Structure formats: structure tokens, C-alpha cells
């Protein structure tokens, strides 16, 4: 491998990782934008999503060491698995909002945020009890196709991650910018009281934000499994914290910011591990979090936070 | 309302219980002696922890059934040093467990812990209480190093004993095998930043350099991170002939997976005993696990005729195949029980100190041979066995989660 090949490979590694962070970061941003709430249960919605995906693939008979699927069977299984995983994770997000957060909606202070930490640990321990502590092999229906670009290798799973996250992020952007519900969401983010007076049903907007954010986290969890061929009950916290950093980096509450932030964090992690050492990846990423908070608290693209005066 | 049948059942259940009580009239008066058993039942090494814990419990049960120690009923006191947040052994939890053992007066000895990182936290606490600990698999050399006596035996005498060799043999002997038998010239080294992982990687690296192997790089991994692809891209660029990973399975399964995905398949890959566990095959699985070398810091016993009965009994009882560290755990428990028996039979009061002294002087015939310790608590016969993971589809009796048969025995590693 020449140095150029290595750089290209690290870009491939970093953007694939970053695409997953971006999907997860969007959930933080959507909820923060509307409620000014940092939703820590989001970490483990992502983790639950990867297990839902695993269950779906097993239902479709995708086993470790089974023959890879091709053509329409592959696309069908993937689309169905993504759809069910996203729906299930989205509903989980809605349930969390309804059961644990809505009763606290008007409580001032950090009560709601602390509740999300509690919910996060409940999910974490439920999965631990349910599936056990060991890492689970995540069967892949993907054929092991790869393309050589010089000395770098681009695998089908990376292409899949890029395509799926571009589609999802494109869909989200369209939804937020061009639908009535999206308009209502933006209005609520700007000024919930004014939005309510204009006839926006704020409760529905909040539910929608949780549903969309959690569905994207579920998709991220499924991608995680397909990418690493592994999942475990611990994946939520490390991945989630980095995605949260991505959201802050891009400007929390800012949808395009979260996407760019995710990819940036992925690239920083890949090149940090390459230039310095893997053990330093967290030091680098979280130093960036601190630096951003100190010098550019609104993030690279500015915060689109509620206008609460 | 009780039906006639349930009345009958209740009556017969009562009869059975009463019968049992009468069969051992002395049992009510027996002193209860507890044996602490500590392993990492939560996290990435859970399966192996269950195997060794069951091994220890089996030895206790057998001793009770045979009424080995008159007037004493043995009880296993099982604690878990793994935590959900650590995802593997957690030194803080291990320290809490050590205090639990020490504060329970009935606990006269401990089997375990399974992990070196846990042992380092437990030993200083056990030392002040003179509580003998016999580990089945904690192989980091520091704990029995006389130069570190201030840390690990603040109360004077060693309390920590092992029925396995240490990484001062495990790492270097495997390095000898890589240099002399596999003729590997260049290597890359990884560890999982844990006490065990760093130690064995250092020991491997030092001996490899001595043997003329060129070390192309060394990296530490965060065991909880998911993504090692950029590290493996770096390793691919360095293009070594061999890869050594020091660490346990939380990072291990990801290392095995991603190494297979990214590195050329001709690279010879190895780890220490930290890779020996069901997760290697249920988590990483074939084809990624294929060809990985691993060691055990004990003789290979499970296929020996001396262990045939044990293996059959264990399988019948727990429906899982025992591996070598199940046997070292069983052996350690036997040594501890023997020490308790010796003290009891000599008529001296059953104290932790007396049990510790009896363990230190032990010479007990066990499944792996005669176990005796040197003045630091290390086992006298130090043997390192080498294994290689290999999928044998024709062997249907070997289940995927039975690491004992998925790792095929290669031989004893060359001693320097």
C-alpha cells in the first residue's frame, strides 16, 4: 500500500463510520431542536435497533455462514429489515417520550435529562438480561464483493452504508423542509408558544421528532451490525457519545450540521488512530468536544435552538 | 383445595426431605466453611467465567458428597467481578467482592479471580485478612513478583497462588514458537490496554525482539470502542508476517473479525489465553477465527485420559464441554479443600492463616498432575500449551461454543 492508498482507505473507513455517527447525531439534534433536551436514551435506542435488525435477519433465515443473498432477494431482505427495525426503534422512541418524558415536560431544570439517562440504563440492562453479555455474531446477507481502488479496498458494505445513509438523510431533509409536518417542526423549534398559537399541535410534533430520531438511530444500529458483523449490549454508549459530539460539533439542533459533524468525527477518528494511536481516539474526539464548547459553543454551523426568552 | 394427588405428592416430598435429614444426622451440626469463587460472569468473557465457576462448584459438591472433611460442610460463595458498564472484568467491583469475602467469617479461601486486572485489586485486601486465593487463569506475572511484595503482600506472606503458569512464560514461549517453528520475521503487536493484555504483549514483544523478529508497530486498543478498521489499515500498510494480540475477548472478538476483513489471510495471528472462550466462535466465528493461535498457561489436560471421568461428569452435569481452565479451576479448588481438610484433621482451629499456610505447603495430586507452589505462590511445573482454531465440519460432536474442542492442540510451546 502506498501512502496515498492508505489515506484513501482511511477516508473510506472514516466516512463509513461517520455516516453511522451522523444518523445517530440527527436524533440528538431533532429532539434538542424542539425540546432543548439532550436525550441520552438515544444511545441505547441505537443499540436496541441493532438487536431488532439481528432478530429480523434471523427471521429471514440469514445465518452466520449461510450463503449470501443476491439480486431481488437481497434487496427485499434489506429493505424489509430496515423498515421493521426503523419502525420498531421509532416506536420505542415514542414510548420513551410518552411514558418517561411527557410527564416531566413542564418540570424546570435537568429532571428530564436525568430521566433519559435512567431510561438509557434500563434499556442497557434489559438487553443485557435478555440476550446475555457476550458479543453476538451478526450474520450478513451481503455478498463479499469488493473493489480495489489502487491499494485501497472498497467493500459492498461500505457502499451500502453510504447509500442508505444518504437516502435517509435526504428523506429527512425533504421531510423537514417541504412537508407540512416538517414546517410545524421548524416552527416549534423556533418558538413553541407562537407555533401553538398558530394551531400547531406541539405534542404531535414532539412525538414525530422522537419517532424520526429513534428510527434513524435504529437504522444506524442495523448498519453497525452489518458493517462490523457484530453487536453487543455495550455498543450504545461509546458510539452514542461520539455521535453526540458530532451533533455538538455541527451545532446541536442543526440538521445539516449533524450530518457534517458525524462525517467529520468519523474522519477524525480514522486519521487520529492512524497518525497517533487507536488508544488516543477518544482523547482526540472529546478534546474536540471541549474545544468546540469553549470557542464555538454554537458549533460549526450555528445552533438552531428554540427562541426562548 | 388439595386434590388427592397433590396430597400424595406433598406427603412423598415430605418423606424425601425427612429421609435426607435422617440420612445425615450430623449435618445440622456441621460447621459451614465457604469458599469464595470470583470470576467475570458479566461481559465479554461470560462463557469462560461460567465454565470455571462450575468447575470450582463441582469440586466443592464432590467433596461434600464424599464427606471429605468431617464436621465441615463446604459452600461455594459465587461473586461476579464483571459489570455491565465495564463490559468485562471491573477492578472496582473486584475490590468490593474481596471485601465481601473478607468480611464473611465463614470464607476461608477463594478460588479465582479469573482475570489479572481483577486480581490486582483483590490481592491487597485479601493479604490483610490472610485469605488464600488460588487463581485458575490470572496470568499476569506482577502479582507473584517478589519485587512487588509491598503491593501484593503487604501483610508479609503471599496469599495469591496459581494453578497456571504466568505470562512471563506464556508470552515469550509463544514468541519462541513464532520465531523457531513458524519462522515469522516481522510482527505487529496489539493489546487491549488491560493489566493482562499489556503485560502479555510486552512479554511477547521483548522475547520476539530477542529472537530477531522485527516489530513493525505496537498499538493499544480501547476495548469498548467498536471500530478498529483504521488501526488495521495501518497494520496492512506495515505489512507484517505476523500479528499478536494481547487481551481478553471484549476487544478480542472485534480484533479477530476486523483482522480477517482487512488483513491478508496469510498473516499468522496469535493471542494468549485471553482468546480462549466461547465468544471467539459465537461472536467472531468462522471464517474469521480460523487459523488463530492461542495459548493456555497449563498443560493440555482435557484430552488426557486422566481427565476422562471429569470431562464426562462435567458434560453430564452442565451440558457444556469443560476446557483446560475449567480443570485448573477444579484443581485449585481441590488444593484449597485439601488445605482446609489438613487443618481440620490436625485438630488446629480452622483459621484463614492456617489454611493459607497449608495451601503454601500443598503437594496435591490433581487432574493436571501434582500441584505445588514456589515461595511466591507460582505453580512449580510451568507448561505453556499452544492451540490453533480450526473448523472441522466433520466433527459434529464439537459444538461452536465449545472452545475446548474448537481450539486444536498443537503442542507444548518451546521454553527459552
Architecture of the domain delimited by A3-295: Orthogonal Bundle (1.10)
- The 10 Å Cβ neighbour count of residue B238 is 14
- The 10 Å Cβ neighbour count of residue B292 is 25
For testing the chain B interface, which of A125, A225, A279 should be mutated: the one with the most B CBs within 10 Å?
A: A279
Cross-chain residue pair A273–B234, CB shorter than 8 Å: yes
Report the chain A residue with the minimal C-alpha distance to residue B222: A279
pLDDT value of residue A54? 94
Q: How many helices (H) does chain B have, and how many strands (E)?
A: 14, 14
Minimum-distance CB partner of B254 among A9, A136, A228: A228
pLDDT value of residue A136? 87
Chain B residues within an 8 Å CB radius of A282: 222, 225
Q: pLDDT tens for residues A290-308?
A: 998 898 888 888 765 544 4
Chain A residues within an 8 Å CB radius of B42: 128, 133
Question: Model pTM?
Answer: 0.85
Statement: residue A257 has pLDDT above 50:
yes
Cross-chain residue pair B282–A233, CB shorter than 8 Å: no
Write out chain B's pLDDT in tens, 416 residues: 445 555 545 545 544 444 444 444 445 568 999 999 999 998 888 889 999 999 999 999 999 999 999 999 999 999 999 988 888 899 999 999 999 999 999 999 999 999 999 999 999 999 999 999 999 999 999 999 999 999 999 999 999 999 999 999 999 999 999 999 999 999 999 999 998 999 999 999 999 999 999 999 999 998 888 889 999 999 999 999 999 999 999 999 999 999 999 999 999 999 999 999 888 999 888 899 999 999 999 999 999 999 999 999 999 999 999 999 999 999 999 999 999 999 999 999 999 999 999 999 999 999 999 999 999 999 999 999 999 999 988 888 888 888 889 999 999 999 87
Dump strand ranges (E) for B204-281.
214-220, 242-246, 268-271
Cross-chain residue pair B282–A17, CB shorter than 8 Å: no
Dump strand ranges (E) for chain A.
136-137, 146-149, 152-155, 230-231
ipTM for the complex? Answer: 0.85
β-pair type (B364-366, B293-296) = unpaired
Regarding predicted confidence, which is higher, A107 or A45?
A: A45
Cross-chain residue pair B250–A64, CB shorter than 8 Å: no
Chain A residues within an 8 Å CB radius of B278: 134
Read off the pLDDT of each residue in A195-218 and give the average, rounded to a whole number: 93
Residue B146: all three cell numbers together? 517478589
Minimum-distance CB partner of A278 among B222, B236, B262: B222
pLDDT value of residue B333? 97
pLDDT value of residue A243? 93
Chain B residues within 8 A (CB-CB) of chain A? 41-44, 46-47, 82, 84-85, 87, 193, 219-222, 224-231, 233-234, 236-237, 239, 249-250, 253-254, 257-258, 261-262, 278-279, 282-287
Mean of per-residue pLDDT scores for chain A: 89
Q: pLDDT tens for residues A17-29?
A: 999 999 999 999 9
C-alpha gyration radius of chain B = 22
Cross-chain residue pair A135–B44, CB shorter than 8 Å: yes
pLDDT value of residue A33? 87
Domain ranges of chain A: 3-295
β-pair type (B160-162, B107-111) = unpaired
What's the 3-state SS for B46-82? HHHHHHHHHHHHHHHHHHHHCCCCCCEEEEEEEEECE
Give the percent of chain A with pLDDT over 70.
97
Q: Is A91 exposed, middle or buried (0-12, 13-18, 19+ CB in 10 A)?
A: middle
pLDDT value of residue A109? 84
CB pairs under 8 A between A and B: 124
Q: pLDDT tens for residues A115-135?
A: 999 999 999 999 988 988 778
* Residue B37 to residue B52: CA distance in whole angstroms: 9
Cross-chain residue pair A273–B231, CB shorter than 8 Å: yes
Statement: residue A254 has pLDDT above 50:
yes
Nearest to B248 by CA among B167, B133, B327, B173: B167
Domains along chain B with CATH numbers:
30-165+306-371 (3.40.50.2300), 167-296+384-412 (3.40.50.2300)
Min distance A146 CA to chain B CA atoms (Å): 11
* Residue B368 to residue B302: CA distance in whole angstroms: 9
Cross-chain residue pair A13–B84, CB shorter than 8 Å: no
Amino acid at each position: 500500500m502506498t501512502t496515498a492508498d492508505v489515506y484513501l482507505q482511511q477516508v473510506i473507513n472514516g466516512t463509513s463510520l461517520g455516516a453511522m455517527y451522523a444518523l445517530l447525531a440527527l436524533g440528538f439534534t431533532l429532539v434538542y431542536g424542539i425540546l432543548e433536551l439532550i436525550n441520552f436514551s438515544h444511545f441505547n435506542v441505537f443499540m436496541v435497533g441493532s438487536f431488532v435488525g439481528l432478530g429480523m435477519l434471523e427471521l429471514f433465515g440469514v445465518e452466520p455462514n449461510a450463503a449470501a443473498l443476491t439480486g431481488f432477494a437481497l434487496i427485499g431482505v434489506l429493505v424489509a429489515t430496515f423498515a421493521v427495525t426503523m419502525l420498531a426503534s421509532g416506536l420505542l422512541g415514542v414510548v420513551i417520550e410518552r411514558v418517561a418524558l411527557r410527564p416531566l415536560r413542564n418540570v424546570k431544570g435537568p429532571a428530564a435529562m436525568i430521566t433519559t439517562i435512567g431510561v438509557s440504563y434500563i434499556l442497557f440492562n434489559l438487553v443485557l438480561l435478555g440476550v446475555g453479555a457476550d458479543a453476538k455474531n451478526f450474520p450478513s446477507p451481503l455478498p463479499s464483493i469488493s473493489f480495489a481502488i489502487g491499494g485501497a479496498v472498497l467493500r459492498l458494505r461500505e457502499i451500502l452504508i453510504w447509500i442508505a445513509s444518504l437516502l435517509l438523510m435526504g428523506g429527512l431533509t425533504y421531510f423537514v423542509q417541504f412537508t407540512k409536518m416538517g414546517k410545524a417542526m421548524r416552527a416549534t423549534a423556533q418558538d413553541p408558544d407562537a407555533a401553538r398559537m398558530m394551531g400547531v399541535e406541539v405534542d404531535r410534533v414532539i412525538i414525530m421528532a422522537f419517532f424520526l430520531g429513534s428510527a434513524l438511530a435504529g437504522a444506524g444500529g442495523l448498519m453497525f451490525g452489518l458493517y462490523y458483523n457484530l453487536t453487543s449490549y455495550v455498543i450504545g454508549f461509546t458510539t452514542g457519545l461520539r455521535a453526540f459530539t458530532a451533533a455538538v460539533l455541527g451545532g446541536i439542533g442543526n440538521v445539516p450540521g449533524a450530518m457534517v459533524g458525524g462525517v467529520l468525527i468519523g474522519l477524525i477518528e480514522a486519521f487520529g488512530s492512524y497518525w497517533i494511536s487507536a488508544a488516543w481516539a477518544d482523547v482526540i474526539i472529546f478534546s474536540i468536544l471541549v474545544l468546540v464548547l469553549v470557542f464555538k459553543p454554537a458549533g460549526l454551523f450555528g445552533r438552531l435552538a428554540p427562541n426562548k426568552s | 383445595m388439595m386434590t388427592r394427588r397433590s396430597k400424595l405428592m406433598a406427603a412423598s416430598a415430605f418423606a424425601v426431605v425427612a429421609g435426607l435429614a435422617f440420612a445425615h444426622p450430623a449435618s445440622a451440626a456441621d460447621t459451614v466453611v465457604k469458599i469464595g469463587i470470583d470470576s467475570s460472569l458479566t461481559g465479554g468473557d461470560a462463557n469462560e467465567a461460567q465454565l470455571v465457576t462450575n468447575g470450582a462448584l463441582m469440586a466443592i459438591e464432590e467433596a461434600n458428597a464424599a464427606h471429605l472433611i468431617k464436621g465441615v460442610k463446604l459452600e461455594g460463595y459465587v461473586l461476579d467481578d464483571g459489570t455491565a458498564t465495564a463490559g468485562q472484568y471491573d477492578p472496582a467491583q473486584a475490590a468490593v467482592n474481596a471485601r465481601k469475602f473478607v468480611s464473611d467469617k465463614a470464607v476461608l479461601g477463594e478460588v479465582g479471580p479469573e482475570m489479572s486486572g481483577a486480581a490486582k485489586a483483590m490481592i491487597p485486601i485479601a493479604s490483610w485478612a490472610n485469605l488464600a486465593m488460588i487463581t485458575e487463569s490470572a496470568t499476569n506475572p506482577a502479582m507473584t513478583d517478589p519485587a512487588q511484595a509491598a503491593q501484593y503482600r503487604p501483610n508479609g506472606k503471599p496469599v495469591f497462588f496459581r494453578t497456571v503458569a504466568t505470562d512471563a512464560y506464556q508470552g515469550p514461549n509463544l514468541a519462541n514458537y513464532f520465531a523457531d517453528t513458524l519462522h515469522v520475521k516481522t510482527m505487529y503487536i496489539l493489546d487491549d490496554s488491560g493489566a493482562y493484555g499489556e503485560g502479555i504483549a510486552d512479554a511477547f514483544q521483548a522475547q520476539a525482539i530477542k529472537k530477531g523478529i522485527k516489530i513493525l508497530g505496537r498499538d493499544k486498543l480501547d476495548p469498548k470502542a467498536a471500530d478498529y478498521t483504521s488501526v488495521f489499515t495501518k497494520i496492512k500498510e506495515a505489512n507484517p508476517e505476523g500479528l499478536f494480540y494481547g487481551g481478553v475477548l471484549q476487544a478480542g472478538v472485534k480484533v479477530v473479525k476486523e483482522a480477517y476483513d482487512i488483513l491478508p489471510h496469510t498473516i499468522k495471528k496469535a493471542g494468549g489465553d485471553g482468546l480462549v472462550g466461547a465468544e471467539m466462535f459465537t461472536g467472531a466465528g468462522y471464517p474469521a477465527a480460523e487459523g488463530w493461535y492461542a495459548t493456555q498457561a497449563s498443560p493440555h489436560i482435557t484430552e488426557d485420559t486422566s481427565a476422562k471421568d471429569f470431562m464426562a461428569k462435567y458434560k453430564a452435569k452442565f451440558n457444556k464441554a469443560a476446557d483446560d481452565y475449567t480443570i485448573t479451576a477444579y484443581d485449585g479448588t481441590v488444593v484449597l479443600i485439601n488445605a482446609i481438610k489438613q487443618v481440620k484433621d490436625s485438630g488446629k482451629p480452622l483459621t484463614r492463616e492456617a489454611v493459607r499456610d497449608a495451601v503454601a505447603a500443598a503437594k496435591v495430586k490433581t487432574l493436571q498432575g501434582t500441584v505445588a507452589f514456589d515461595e511466591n505462590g507460582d505453580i512449580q511445573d510451568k507448561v505453556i500449551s499452544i492451540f490453533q482454531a480450526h473448523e472441522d465440519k466433520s466433527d459434529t460432536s464439537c459444538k461452536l461454543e465449545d472452545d475446548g474442542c474448537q481450539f486444536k492442540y498443537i503442542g507444548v510451546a518451546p521454553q527459552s
